[in-house]
Amino acid sequence: MLNEFQQKAVLLPNKNALILAGAGSGKTRVLTSRIAHLCQKQRISPQSILAVTFTNKAAREMRERVEQLLGYSTRGMWLGTFHGIAHRLLRQHAQELGFDRHFKVLDQDDQLQMIKRLVAHLNLDDRLYAPKYLQHYINAKKDEGVRAESLNDKSVDQEVIRLYQAYELRLKADNALDFADLLLCANELLTHNEVLRSYYQKRFQYILIDEFQDTNTIQYKWLEKLYSGDNTVMAVGDDDQSIYGWRGAKVENIQKFIDDFGEVEVIRLEQNYRSTQIILDAANAVITNNIDRMGKTLWSEKERGEQIAFYEAFNERDEADFIAGRIYNLWKNEHLTLKDIAILYRSNAQSRVIEEALLKEGVPYRIYGGVRFFDRAEIKDALAYLRLMALKSDNLAFERIINTPTRGIGAKTLEVIRDYAADYDLSLWHAAKAVIERKLLSSRALKALSEFINMIEELSEYIDTLTLEDLMRLVLEKSGLLRSYEAGKSEKSQQKLENLKELVNAASEFIPPVEDVETNEARLLEFLSFAVLESGEMQADENIDSVQMMTLHSAKGLEFPYVFMTGLEDGLFPSSRSIDSPKKLAEERRLCYVGITRAMAKLTLSYSKVRHQYGDINYQIKSRFLHEIPDDYIKSVRTSVKKSETPSFGISPFEFLKKNTPDSAFKTGDFVNHTKFGIGVFLKSEGEGDERLYHIDFKAGGGKKVLLAKMAKLSKL
């Protein structure tokens, strides 16, 4: 049964409309019911309808629902993603743009490889002209509808423009399009071919666009070309859920649609069918702090619900332990299904300590739409450097990093090294040294290979003199891994950069599981073994009931009865890159709104007073988003749930940790031992219960420290 405003949208007469569909307001039902109504009641042929959404999953779901309502196949209907519809259009008319209809489409990896080859061909320094940055630049320009030949921006490096031009020529010669080309070429086709434009304008009498707040410049232009004034457009979206500005989405397209498409009827879907009222009230309270909104207020017929739980953690490990303990209690004591629980975080790097806490509790989990921390490519790259430094015969590590990041060592060089290794039964490392000594490569290739070998040998010399944390930091800097991601401006590059910095934290916190680790080299090998044990096999299988962990961006479109939102600190969420930009801060606030509205029944928010970042201790400020939620919506919790004594899932890498020493065991002047900082003098304790702090002077292990008592793991000497 449709509510009043859903019904109004479905039965709308022939006029353009903007459906402002709030979170959980049933927009998919409205879209599919609208299509069924057009076909059944108004006798419109499915071939006269164009329905566009953003993901293949959403398109499949929409088609299935429409066919269920109609009772027959809709194969003739153009229903799909923007890129899918554009691809279909170009397959039929590619020759109009000078391409063969059998053109190939490059994926992201293919595109990057082509750019790398062009960087080398144009004799550009890939450290100054990072291929990933160039890829991001080209795609961003195409999303804005800007071709290389029309670039006249004097502020842009002319070598970048030259490479863009060479890239366009290479695509043409290869009869290939990249992903961004699909939309750009479709727009150019409709722009320059009046006959085709008129044909499709007449064919598509009804155009429906889902997730309109996520459209970018070229998608909007593409839509404009299909509109004639005689057909009708229904745009469905929510300006409060526009969270993809970093990849080109223009939230202002919603207002632009009203301005550009004549008389547009605006219908607000504000009734939420997902969450309790108190969760919606919190979301409304946060989002009202954004200006230039279309404006709406979510409400529900459900019960008001429980107050939002709030946990103030001492540090990120305390936060993770609290979450894992709460989930264990819900699972074992309240018999909750784990798949009904989600843990949301702003940055992928936050997942590491939470994963470890869940493993310690024996709670199965999965990383939704991603991989576990130690399985991420950039983490494996960094660890491969450590592996090769520690064991020169590690051929897999050698092959992984010899040209990562790119340093001018190509496939031909690697082939020569492999052949030499096979002929003389050597490791790739020793074969490479022999190839250099015998000068079996060109002078340029020899120079690049020698620099790589020398770098690894120089780094290896620091194994015995640096702590694991400092060694990790040095490797990231000297290898160029940090620099390669700092050069990339995309959100993905920044996430990888944050993950690498989190790896330094992992190194600084690492405690060997055995007691007889006396040398730095032994500690390094234990850490590498720990990383292997922590990788993929510990993640729950897809068929196992498990907690869902994901970034806030990945959570859009999903819903869970129980949601934990973590790391609500200024500088983390909102991110440090957004705080000084009103536009970016508004998007971060929309992301918070999206996160809150994922919760159906219970929501828990948390933040840490102290957070370790890149090996440093930072004192955090509570997120401004927390301050925007009225106090009477929130209930602070300082609960201590019973922990699992024996993990019931997998093998915990923390079984070796001892139980906390009782507070009463220490007095001023006692000598104590800490697994990381060594021997120290106990100075004093302060606070009570979970808030109790220990002040200790570790004279040889880092000076005076303040530790949370329940996590200190101290033993008295």
DSSP state, residue 392: T
Question: Which of the residues 135, 217, 219, 241 is marked catalytic?
Answer: 241
Q: Which strands form 49-53's sheet, in the order they lie side by side?
A: 78-81, 49-53, 206-209, 232-237, 16-21, 264-269
* Whole-angstrom distance, CA of residue 239 vs CA of residue 213: 6
Would you give the distance in Å from CA 432 to the centre of its chain?
37
Question: Which of the residues 126, 181, 211, 319 is marked catalytic?
Answer: 211
| Partners of 267 in beta bridges | 19
Q: Are strands 634-636 and 599-613 parallel, antiparallel or unpaired?
A: unpaired
Question: Which of the residues 7, 28, 47, 675 is marked catalytic?
Answer: 28
Question: Which of the residues 27, 132, 346, 360 is marked catalytic?
Answer: 27
The pair of three-digit structure tokens given for residue 584, joined into one six-digit string: 């970016």
User: What Å distances lie between residue 404 and 379, 382, 399, 454, 481, CA to CA?
Assistant: 12, 10, 9, 15, 8
Q: Quick check: bond before 131 cis, omega within 30?
A: no
Residue carrying structure tokens 């607000």: 268
265 noted as active-site residue: no
Residue carrying structure tokens 């709308």: 12
* 254-256-258 Cα angle (round to 5): 80
241 noted as active-site residue: yes
* Whole-angstrom distance, CA of residue 244 vs CA of residue 584: 10
Q: Quick check: bond before 574 cis, omega within 30?
A: yes
* Terminal C-alpha separation, the chain: 71
Would you give the distance in Å from CA 182 to the centre of its chain?
24
60 noted as active-site residue: no
Residue carrying structure tokens 């593409």: 222
The pair of three-digit structure tokens given for residue 660, joined into one six-digit string: 């906390």
Do the beta carbons of residue 504 and residue 472 sit within 8 Å?
yes
Question: Which of the residues 352, 366, 387, 598 is marked catalytic?
Answer: 598
* Whole-angstrom distance, CA of residue 600 vs CA of residue 570: 26
* 439-441-447 Cα angle (round to 5): 80
The pair of three-digit structure tokens given for residue 235, joined into one six-digit string: 């745009």
27 noted as active-site residue: yes
DSSP state, residue 42: S
Q: Which residues contact 199 (CB under 8 A, 6 or more apart)?
A: none
Question: Which of the residues 143, 178, 181, 210 is marked catalytic?
Answer: 210
* Whole-angstrom distance, CA of residue 465 vs CA of residue 519: 10
The pair of three-digit structure tokens given for residue 324, joined into one six-digit string: 């894992």
> Among 625, 520, 631, 536, which residue's Cα sits nearest to residue 578?
625
The pair of three-digit structure tokens given for residue 373, joined into one six-digit string: 């921390």
* Whole-angstrom distance, CA of residue 406 vs CA of residue 126: 7
Q: For residue 478, which amino acid is it?
A: K
* 577-24-27 Cα angle (round to 5): 105
Do the beta carbons of residue 285 and residue 580 sit within 8 Å?
no
The pair of three-digit structure tokens given for residue 84, joined into one six-digit string: 């899918």
The pair of three-digit structure tokens given for residue 237, joined into one six-digit string: 């979206």
* Whole-angstrom distance, CA of residue 653 vs CA of residue 527: 11
Do the beta carbons of residue 200 and residue 207 sit within 8 Å?
no
Catalytic annotation, residues: 27-28, 210-211, 241, 598
